[in-house]
Homo-oligomer: A and B are copies of this chain.
């Protein structure tokens, strides 16, 4: 069965031995080459795009009070979890793309994202009252930065191992897969909480 023929264009510079145009996919359900990214980075971008679409589908149309709803006194709100996803992605940019030690963030990023990163009491107190657009805009801004940065990185970078990561030696593919599956982890919680909003 052939790949769908969406977006058949010639990609220069990827594989000089390729005998013809490389199929670039623009169907989110067809993972593979994405325009402007190296092959393995394309697979990561495929996952990021697809997963983000799923999360956005879960929160579409939620009101401020729904975004602030707390399942119980230990729960995180959906709004706080959305901000937490943006914070996580920003911190992985700083760690894996700028080579910063985990936690050694510029003060601007610390001010903007540390509460969301930590969730819990502090996030319950401080992250509320915002419309959905606030979270969407933040997620979009951080994602756009990730995608611009990934265009200037390649498969060698993706496979590069950080010997000093908290989990032990970990490569960038693993770190960024975690950023993606972490959205699914919280999406599972978002769906559970959303179905209990009273």
Task: Among B4, B40, B159, B165, point to the contact of A29 (Cβ < 8 A).
Answer: B165
Task: Among B1, B43, B186, point to the contact of A43 (Cβ < 8 A).
Answer: B43
Within 8 A of B (CB), among A71-92: 72, 74-75
Interface size class, chain A: 35 or more
- Nearest chain B CB to A158 CB, angstrom units: 8
Q: What are the residues of chain B within 8 A of A184 when measuring CB–CB?
A: 181-182, 184-185, 188
Once the chains bind, are A30 and B189 in contact (CB under 8 Å)? no
Nearest 9 pairs between A and B by C-beta?
Answer: A188-B188, A185-B188, A31-B173, A29-B170, A181-B184, A184-B184, A188-B189, A184-B185, A30-B171
Task: Among B31, B51, B162, B185, point to the contact of A171 (Cβ < 8 A).
Answer: B31
